[in-house]
């Protein structure tokens, strides 16, 4: 019932980094532009690019040398992350001027629940899109729908500068014929599993067998089936980023332990558990804490701040081991624990990558989506470590002016 009565907008900024650079330097407008991790080196990778560059076949994750081969006149710029953060704050300030029910999901996209806004949704979307253009010189696409899933799907349907209305009655015609991997929330691995049981389109998923779906992809299979049928009861929640602050696990050892290798193995097991739990929550930790309880029940804890937010098992173990070695006094240990602290959703985390890390992250992601997925995972993606972008949304006036980049 709640789902049918709502009006949800999903605002997705178009080629955000490149658009911010063009807003800062108008001479770049209309030109093929790429943002690259290290444009001076042939091995630099394209982070994102303008639509003019895409017309030549330039894509994210593409080496700069290859992009320039496709587009000899390509302009390549280094990322200016302070600009992108400032532009993001200004963007969300505009959204918040219409309703307090705004949920940022990454640096350049968010949901709005405008059910109680006394405006026609299409007129409202047009005004928001125009304000983003006039005040920030940033293009966007907006989806209008009765729930978050359909709004997100709608905003992807027309880029750049699109406004799309997607109703539940439209899904059989507009969604069901599409390949299942085109559905938001279905990754390449999930699509592969679905195809093994004959589910190739979103329509096939909508008609899928519940038992079969749950067997191959767990409870998420039933959730995906609901979404394929246009059902999504999730609220637009401005405070969703604060749902959890820590993710941890602990174990009581079979016997009080003094053997360092045995304790290291216990730490490895705990790091694996914490990593899996973080990944399940689509979260990353910015600190790793270790707890020791000795034979006499004395309990000590110590934490270590990470250079970059992580959900990686090896990284968690390595830092936990450093903390453990500082804590442990060679006394018998009864209980051992690892906790990932200051946890945040991947999409709301800022990550600072040097060139080497940038390249390694790109290699480890599916090639066709690596860098943009990094941005989605970590908010500003390859940017800078810090706090949730949502926490930094300030109160702005109604007019920002073209010079807001310089403030």
In 243-298 the beta strands, taken as DSSP E runs, fall at 247-257, 283-294
Distance CA 71, CA 51 (A): 12
User: What are 311's two structure tokens?
Assistant: 């959900």
Catalytic residue among 21, 103, 109, 361: 109
Cross-sheet strand order for the sheet of 33-36: 46-49, 33-36, 75-77
- Between CA 152 and CA 322 the distance in angstroms is 42
> Could you tell me how far CA 162 lies from the centroid of its own chain?
22
Those residues with Cβ within 8 angstroms of residue 145's Cβ, 6 or more apart along the chain or in another chain: 8, 10, 151, 153, 154, 165, 166, 167
Establish whether 12 is an annotated binding residue: yes
Contact call for residues 245 and 303 (beta carbons, < 8 A): no
The pair of three-digit structure tokens given for residue 131, joined into one six-digit string = 């304000």
Query: Contact, 337 vs 250, CB < 8 A?
Result: yes
> What residues have CB less than 8 Å from 15, skipping those under 6 apart?
48, 49, 50, 51, 139, 160
Residue 366, helix vs strand vs coil: coil
Annotated ligand binding at 116? The verdict is no
What is the Cα–Cα distance from 17 to 156, expressed in whole angstroms? Answer: 18
Phi–psi pair at 292, nearest 5 degrees? -120, 135
Token pair, residue 290, equals 């270790």
109 noted as active-site residue: yes
Burial class of residue 239 (count of CB atoms within 10 Å of its CB; 0-12, 13-18, 19+)? exposed
Specify the 3-state DSSP secondary structure of 342: coil
Q: Could you give the CA distance from residue 36 to residue 229 in angstroms, rounded to a whole number? A: 39
Burial of 107 (0-12, 13-18, 19+ CB in 10 A): buried
Map tokens 């109680």 to a residue.
116
Q: Catalytic amino acids?
A: 109
Annotated binding site: 12, 108
Annotated binding site for Mg(2+): 12, 108
């Amino acid at each position: 019932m709640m789902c049918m009565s709502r009006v949800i907008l999903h605002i997705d900024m178009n080629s955000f980094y490149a658009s911010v650079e063009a807003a800062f330097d108008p001479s770049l407008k209309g030109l093929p532009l790429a943002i690259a991790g290290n444009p001076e080196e042939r091995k630099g990778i394209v982070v994102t690019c303008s639509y003019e560059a895409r017309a030549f076949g330039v894509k994210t994750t593409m080496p700069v040398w290859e992009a320039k081969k496709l587009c000899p006149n390509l302009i390549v710029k280094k990322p200016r992350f302070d600009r992108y953060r400032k532009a993001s704050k200004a963007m969300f300030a505009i959204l918040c001027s219409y309703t307090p029910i705004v949920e940022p999901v990454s640096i350049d996209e968010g949901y709005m629940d405008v059910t109680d806004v006394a405006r026609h949704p299409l007129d409202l979307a047009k005004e928001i899109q125009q304000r983003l253009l006039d005040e920030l010189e940033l293009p966007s696409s907006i989806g209008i729908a009765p729930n978050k899933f359909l709004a997100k799907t709608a905003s992807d349907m027309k880029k750049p500068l699109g406004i799309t209305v997607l109703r539940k009655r439209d899904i059989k015609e507009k969604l069901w014929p599409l390949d299942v991997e085109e559905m938001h929330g279905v990754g390449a691995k999930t699509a592969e599993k679905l195809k093994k049981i004959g589910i190739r389109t979103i329509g096939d998923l909508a008609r899928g067998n519940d038992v079969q779906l749950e067997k191959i992809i767990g409870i998420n299979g039933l959730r995906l089936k609901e979404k394929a049928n246009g059902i999504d009861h999730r609220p637009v929640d401005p405070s969703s980023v604060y749902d959890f602050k820590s993710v941890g696990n602990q174990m009581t050892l079979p016997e009080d332990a003094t053997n360092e290798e045995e304790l290291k193995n216990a730490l490895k097991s705990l790091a694996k558990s914490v990593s899996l739990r973080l990944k399940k929550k689509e979260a990353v930790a910015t600190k790793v804490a270790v707890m020791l309880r000795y034979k006499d029940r004395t309990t000590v804890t110590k934490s270590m701040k990470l250079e970059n937010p992580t959900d990686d098992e090896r990284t968690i173990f390595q830092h936990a081991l450093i903390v453990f070695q500082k804590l442990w006094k060679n006394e018998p240990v009864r209980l051992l624990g690892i906790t990932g602290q200051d946890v945040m959703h991947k999409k709301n985390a800022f990550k600072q990558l040097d060139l080497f890390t940038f390249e390694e992250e790109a290699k480890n992601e599916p090639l066709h989506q690596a860098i943009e997925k990094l941005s989605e995972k970590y908010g500003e993606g390859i940017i800078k470590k810090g706090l949730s972008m949502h926490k930094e949304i300030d109160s702005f006036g109604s007019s920002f002016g073209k010079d807001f980049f310089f403030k």
